[in-house]
């Protein structure tokens, strides 16, 4: 049975109201009639819908269904690039884990701000990993499974070693560039890498 005009009026008044309304307040708008019966009818009509009519004390109001509340909040992801400090700190943790903040700073040669570790933890790539059993019991940090997943690594052992970094020209780039220049004079590419291999202890 479709709602009659009295029920419809109660429905519209309740919808447009800026605050929950008492039955008297509703009646002031809709005039004579059984407001309570109309409210019960509406509550029944809206049962099982995405919105409903609820009673708070002696006041009535429309609201969205409780199980739909999470829809009203939307998380929007905005891509953001990690800062230089962030990527360096992450690299140190990845290569040396588990590692304390003081150790990270010692390796980096620069202090790290609180925010840098927070960002890495927010990104889900770094997590606390116990405490170092030294005075002060500092927190240690390690990478997470999400870290491996994000960077497409099967395991931490797949991170390239120092030798690989050197071979790729990622280490000590100034000296390498100089050697490369010397090398090209006699047309041989091998001398450089041979010379480099001899560096190693």
Partner 1 sequence: MSDAQLTLDLDGWEGPLDLLLSLARGQKVDLRKISILALVEQYLAYVDSARALKLELAADYLVMAAWLAYLKSALLLPRDPLAEPDPEELALRLQLRLERLSAMREAGARLMARDRTGRDVFARGAPEGLRTVRKAAWQAEIFDLIAAYGRISARTRPVMHVVADREVMTLEAALERVSILVGERIDWSAIESFLPEAGERLRRSALASSFVAALELARQGKIDLRQASPFAPLYLRARA
Q: Of 1-60, which residues contact its own copies (CB under 8 A)? A: 2-3, 7-13, 15-16, 28-30, 48-51
CB of residue 101 vs partner 1: minimum separation in angstroms?
Answer: 15
Rounded to whole angstroms, how far apart are CA atoms 201 and 198?
Answer: 8
Rounded to whole angstroms, how far apart are CA atoms 26 and 10?
Answer: 7
Burial of 6 (0-12, 13-18, 19+ CB in 10 A): middle
Q: Of how many residues is the chain composed?
A: 201
Q: Which of residues 15-74 bind partner 1 (CB under 8 A)?
A: 15-19, 28-29, 61-66, 68-69, 72-74
Query: How many other β-carbons are positioned within 10 Å of the β-carbon of residue 52?
Result: 18
Rounded to whole angstroms, how far apart are CA atoms 164 and 176?
Answer: 14
Q: Which stretch binds partner 1 (CB under 8 A): 2-10, 40-48, 133-141, 175-183?
A: 175-183
Comparison of 35 and 119: residue with beta carbon closer to partner 1: 119
Comparison of 4 and 163: residue with beta carbon closer to its own copies: 4
Q: Which residues bind its own copies (CB under 8 A)?
A: 2-3, 7-13, 15-16, 28-30, 48-51, 62, 64-65, 68, 71-72, 74, 76
């Amino acid at each position: 049975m479709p709602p009659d005009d009295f029920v419809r009026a109660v429905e519209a008044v309740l919808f447009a109201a800026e605050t929950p309304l008492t039955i008297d307040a509703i009646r002031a708008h809709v005039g004579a009639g059984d407001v309570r019966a109309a409210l019960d009818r509406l509550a029944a009509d809206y049962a099982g819908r995405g919105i409903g009519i609820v009673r708070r004390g002696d006041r009535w109001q429309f609201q969205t269904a409780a199980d739909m509340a999470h829809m009203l909040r939307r998380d929007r992801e905005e891509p953001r690039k990690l800062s230089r400090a962030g990527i360096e700190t992450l690299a140190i943790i990845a290569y040396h884990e588990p590692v304390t903040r003081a150790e990270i700073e010692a390796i980096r040669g620069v202090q790290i701000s609180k925010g840098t570790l927070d960002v890495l933890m927010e990104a889900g790539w770094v997590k606390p990993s116990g405490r170092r059993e030294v005075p002060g019991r500092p927190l240690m940090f390690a990478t997470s499974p999400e870290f491996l997943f994000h960077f497409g690594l099967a395991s931490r052992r797949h991170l390239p070693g120092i030798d690989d970094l050197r071979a790729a020209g990622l280490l000590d780039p100034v000296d390498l560039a100089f050697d490369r220049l010397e090398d090209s004079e006699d047309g041989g590419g091998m001398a450089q890498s041979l010379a480099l291999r001899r560096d190693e202890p």
